Structure 1
Amino acid sequence: MASAGRREVILTESARLFSDRGIAATTIREIGEAVGLNSGTLYHYFKSKDAIVSEILVSFLTDLVERYRAVVAEPESARTRLVRIVRASLEVADLHPYATEIYQNDFANLSALPSYADIADAVDASHDAWYSVVEAGVRDGEFNSGIDIFEFQRMMRECVFMSVRWHRNTLGQDIDALTEMLTTVFLNGFVPPPSGAPTPPPVRPRKRAAKQTAAAEPTQPEKAPDEVQDIRSELDSLRTEMRAIRAAMADRVDTP
């Protein structure tokens, strides 16, 4: 196997082990066994375990910040850019398996890493991107000026990255549904619209969103009973997840 390919295998398997066991509890020997190398050979690819952790996180955060900056620079509404930031977060987390979980699990120990300065700078840049979009929305009258900007963007950001943990095994398939659900809840709320206001379209379950219909039927907007039940089930699941968020917030750390 080429050196570059072997490095990628080491990074992927290491990330899985770090996520499952924690950085401190994972040994170089265990990483070597996972990729079919002895410890001595592994050191030809990485100088230390900390160097592996650093590369996993720096690579993830670098991609994340690049995506965020591209979104922030777009001349679009704050709402559109915030939706794109949510989607970018999920897509990058899917491209870098377990990096989000490693950051969350070992946040208190990251300052010992050799690339901690780069990690901290990237995290600050990612937070600034979220804040700037929400601030622009408040300034332009798109978002509620009565809600604290910092707290709102932090709560939404943490919910997005906690969703990565909950949906890790199916994240690639769930990105569309998660993006729509998260932005709908945070931007539209979870209460019915005022009387007379147009009702926004429901979040469709992924299994139905993937289907193609033979022809549009605009004269029959009613929802089928099974589709209504699917939507209710999706909302019930959301209630459960939001309760988990509130519990986690008591002991939370800032996410990327």
Structure 2
Amino acid sequence: MTQSRSPSERRAHLVRLAGDLFAEKGFRATTVREIADAAGILSGSLYHHFDSKESIGDEILSAFLEDVLAGYRSAVGSASGPREAIELIVRSSNATLARHRAALTMLQNDWNYFSAQPRFGYLRTAMKEIEQTWIEQLERGKEAGEFRADLDARLAYRLLRDILWIPSSRPSSTWTSEEITDGLLRLLFDGIRA
């Protein structure tokens, strides 16, 4: 680690290193010592920036969810209708998930741990708002006749969410992130029928 970094740059660097380790090894399996070793500092020095490993995890996850929700709220607020809102949500999700791969992997791998901890109670609230945003737009689209009347909005949300999360946690060398998003939107809105 370069000594010329400001305290905020050092802190951000530590968060990135820790996020990479949490994504690779799992949150619970990663030790403070491993984070410090990766940063080239003593374990005790890490406590100058964070009071615990959970504080680092909290910073990673809360930043991720704040970014997701800001994108969703912006998409819904600027869209002319539910179809456009869904498209903007998909594009926002793709961009946000690409920026927060470590957080997404942490949630996927250690959800049971995080969701059982009072400190991370906000995760359930944020996930509920994310789901509700999708479902409201899908239901609005049904009511407006833009989407099929027999669409199960909750199932559609789960399928779309899972599709979006796959390329973010496993980057592809075959397709760009934008190509994956465009392909998903074409499949979603145009289908595969000739």
TM-score by length of 2: 0.91
Query: What residue is the counterpart of 1:149 in the other structure?
Result: 153
Map 1:90-239 → 2, pairs under 5 A: 90-113=94-117, 115-167=119-171, 174-192=176-194
Paired amino acid for 1:6:
R
Q: State the shift of 1:94 in Å.
A: 2.0
Query: What residue is the counterpart of 2:64 in the other structure?
Result: 60
State yes or no: 1:87 paired with 2:91: yes
In structure 2, the residue corresponding to 1:143 is in which secondary structure? Answer: coil
Report the aligned-residue RMSD.
1.8
Extract structure 1 runs of 4+ deviating beyond 6 A: none
Q: Distance in 2 between the 1:34 and 1:119 partners?
A: 28
Query: What residue is the counterpart of 1:20 in the other structure?
Result: 24
Instruction: Say which of 22, 27, 33 aligns to 2:37.
Output: 33
Paired amino acid for 2:190:
N
* Structure 2 contact 101–169 (Cα < 8 Å) conserved: no
In structure 2, the residue corresponding to 1:106 is in which secondary structure? Answer: helix
* Structure 1 contact 12–97 (Cα < 8 Å) conserved: no
After superposition, the C-alpha distances for 1:158-198 in whole angstroms (9 at most, x for unaligned) are 1111121222x669x82321111111112222222xxxxxx
Q: Distance in 2 between the 1:129 and 1:175 partners?
A: 23
After superposition, the C-alpha distances for 1:89-129 in whole angstroms (9 at most, x for unaligned) are 11112222311111111111112445312222222111111
Q: Distance in 2 between the 1:182 and 1:77 partners?
A: 19
Query: What residue is the counterpart of 1:198 in the other structure?
Result: none
Q: State the shift of 1:156 in Å.
A: 0.7
Q: State the shift of 1:23 in Å.
A: 0.8
Paired amino acid for 2:75:
V
Query: What residue is the counterpart of 1:253 in the other structure?
Result: none
Give unmatched runs, 5+ long, in structure 2: none
* Structure 2 contact 101–168 (Cα < 8 Å) conserved: no
How much identity, in percent, do the aligned residues show? 30
Q: Distance in 2 between the 1:113 and 1:46 partners?
A: 18
Structure 1 residues 9 and 113: CA distance shift in structure 2, 3 A: farther
Query: What residue is the counterpart of 2:10 in the other structure?
Result: 6
Q: Distance in 2 between the 1:97 and 1:134 partners?
A: 26
In structure 2, the residue corresponding to 1:115 is in which secondary structure? Answer: helix
Query: What residue is the counterpart of 1:233 in the other structure?
Result: none
TM-score by length of 1: 0.70
Higher helix share: 2
In our comparison, the structure showing a higher alpha carbon Rg is: 1
Structure 1 residues 119 and 61: CA distance shift in structure 2, 3 A: same
